[in-house]
Amino acid sequence: MCGIVGLFLKDPALEGLLGDLLSDMLVTMTDRGPDSAGIALYGDAVAGRSKVTVQAGDPARAFAALETLARQAGGESVTLTITDTHAVVGLPSDRVGALRQALADAPEGFRVMSAGETIEIYKETGLPRDVVARFGIRDMRGTHGIGHTRMATESAVTTLGAHPFSTGDDQCLVHNGSLSNHNNLRRELARRGIGFATENDTEVAAAYLTARMAKGRDLGGALTDALGDLDGFFTFVVGTRTGFGVLRDPIACKPAIMAETDRYVAFGSEYRALVGLPGIEAARIWEPEPAAVYFWDRDGPPGDAMLAA
């Protein structure tokens, strides 16, 4: 199974509630997958600054070394916010590469969950309720967010095997389903220089979209390409710095329901995930069509937010 939720806000007045709303949605989906849970939140951008979310299996030891390491790589303006097993390093955007290298070289076993101007990803094994509480997700604000609760099928139940997967700056993807051509696609992407952290099929889908967008495709275009190149079962919800996309495979076995009002676009694996949203009774509610691309962009022209390929 797996449970997916997503919330893309149009009304800035809801931004302070993003973490709370998304947490309720995700906890409601707990019985679709108890193995691990994760949430990606997109906050406010600060010009010239980026954030790198770092996870460590032994945070007490590892994060003691992180501040020095981050300052060496990122300079004096580095900020560090540690929450449980995760730490968010704020730094100048042009220092992200140096920090990534330093983290990879360090002996502490740091894992990069996400990097970008606005994204933060928190994910761990365990139930959504516990993961949400450990990281204080309810108090977080933002413009859009995506959550996932996992019933593992394709790879191990570990922190790195949890969703969302982030393979590019400010990009993330969650998946319900299983891909059948991920090994081949992973080899092709690896040959083009893309690194993989896991044996997971979903990471391949995320990396595929990252590669397409690196070639200049927008999110809608990359999702359209995915219909031709990915084989298997999937309902995806994808986030970028300003965008939010949904794609289901042509067979569309994996459930999906969407709601849109003047204030938000919401996604749930089931309607249950949406019942707590403000004004849901009056929302336009529909099941996304198989093999159709849906995406919304905060910077896109109003009224031209959705494209069904």
Partner 1 sequence: MPAFDLATTPIRELNQALHALSPGTNDRAFEVRNPRGSHAVAVGCAAPVAIAVHGPVGYYCGGMNAEAAITIHGSAGPGVAENMMSGTVIVEGDASQYAGATGRGGLLVIRGNAASRCGISMKGIDIVVGGNVGHMSAFMGQSGHLVVCGDAGEALGDSLYEAKLFVRGGVKSLGADCIEKEMRGEHLETLERLLAAAGMGGVKPLEFRRYGSARKLYNFDIDNSDAY
Give whichever of 32 and 51 is closer to partner 1, judged by the CB atom. Answer: 32
Query: Least distance to partner 1 from the beta carbon of 34, Å?
Result: 16
Integer Cα distance of 50 and 70 in angstroms: 13
CB of 93 to partner 1, least distance (A): 42
Q: Which is nearer to partner 1, 249 or 297 (CB)?
A: 249
Count of beta carbons in the 10 Å neighbourhood of residue 153: 13
Burial of residue 68 (CB within 10 Å: 0-12, 13-18, 19+) is exposed
Q: Which residues of 231-248 are buried (b: 16+ CB within 10 A; e: fewer)?
A: ebbbbbbbbbbbbbbbbb
CA proximity to 170, closest of 222, 111, 119: 119
Does residue 253 have an active-site annotation?
Answer: no
Measured at the CA of 35, the angle between CA 32 and CA 39, to 5 degrees, comes to 80
Q: Which of 2, 87, 132, 277 is catalytic?
A: 2
Which residue number, 196 or 271, has a Cβ lying nearer to partner 1? 271
The Cα–Cα gap between 7 and 98 comes to 32
Task: Please say which residue, 166 or 269, places its beta carbon nearer to partner 1.
Answer: 269
User: Using CB under 8 A as the criterion, which residues of the chain lie in contact with partner 1 when the complex forms?
Assistant: 250-253, 255, 257, 270-275, 285-287, 290
CA 57 – CA 46 distance, rounded (Å): 29
Residue 29 CB, shortest distance to partner 1, in Å, is: 11
Residues with a catalytic annotation lie at 2
